[in-house]
Amino acid sequence: MVMSERVDNVIKLAVIVGSTRKGRFAPVVANWFAEQAGQREDLAVDVLDLADVGLPDVLNGFGEEPADEVKVVSPRLAGADAFVVVTPEYNHSFPAPLKNAIDWHYTEWQAKPVGFVSYGGVGGGLRAVEQLRQVFAELHAVTVRDTVSFHGAWSRFDDDGEPLDPEGVNGAAKTMIDQLVWWGAALREARDKRPYGA
């Protein structure tokens, strides 16, 4: 789903599914979050699943024409007012395809808010989130404080992909989305008044 043209009272939210591993759990978590965000009248949600995109894993040299796959993704990121990254934790960090997708872009991230939904074992993916905060700070993005994390994620959803503790996680999602909407609107207004220059 690609976002249409801008509506002033609606924030365009790109939900990036960061795992591409075979047998991944990411779609369960991402679908739940997209459903939560999709219920909001102040959001237009675009789910960007990196497993479907097939970005090249070798970056171009400076000034070289990007691959066609990159040209498809770039306008979707550029058109977003805010981002949510759905990520597992691999070896105390985040997946390589996610870093690859981040590194293919630069200005698309600037002066926009980023939220995180993480999942994993005991750590719930939080170490991946902490590293992603550093990466997005370098890209001049603003990460929101509150996150959603699933500790022992595989036992936190039923067979239909619904969380077993909906009240807790839905509440956490609302808190994060509220922050994203505030920052998304504030930063969009600021970019409209004065283009961001890094």
Delineate the domains of the chain, giving CATH numbers in brackets: 11-193 (3.40.50.360)
Helices (H), 48-165: 50-53, 68-78, 96-103, 126-138
Provide the pairing of β-strand 148-151 with 142-143.
Answer: unpaired
Stated pTM of the model: 0.94
- Per-residue pLDDT tens over the stretch 49-102: 999 999 999 888 888 889 999 999 999 999 999 999 999 999 999 999 999 999
CB 27 within 8 A of CB 75: no
Distance CA(4)–CA(84), nearest Å, equals 18
Position 3 confidence tier, pLDDT thresholds 50, 70, 90: low
pLDDT on residue 8:
74
Q: Residue 1 pLDDT > 50, yes or no?
A: no
Going by the DSSP 8-state scheme, the letter that residue 30 receives in this structure is: H
Distance CA(43)–CA(16), nearest Å, equals 15
Position 7 confidence tier, pLDDT thresholds 50, 70, 90: low
pLDDT on residue 197:
82
- Per-residue pLDDT tens over the stretch 128-179: 999 999 999 999 999 999 999 999 999 999 999 999 999 999 999 999 999 9
Which string of b and e fits 107-131 if b means at least 16 CB within 10 Å? ebbbbbbbbbbbbbeebbbbbbbbe
Distance CA(148)–CA(178), nearest Å, equals 13
Instruction: Report which of 16, 165, 158, 176 is spatially closest to residue 84, judged by C-alpha positions.
Output: 16
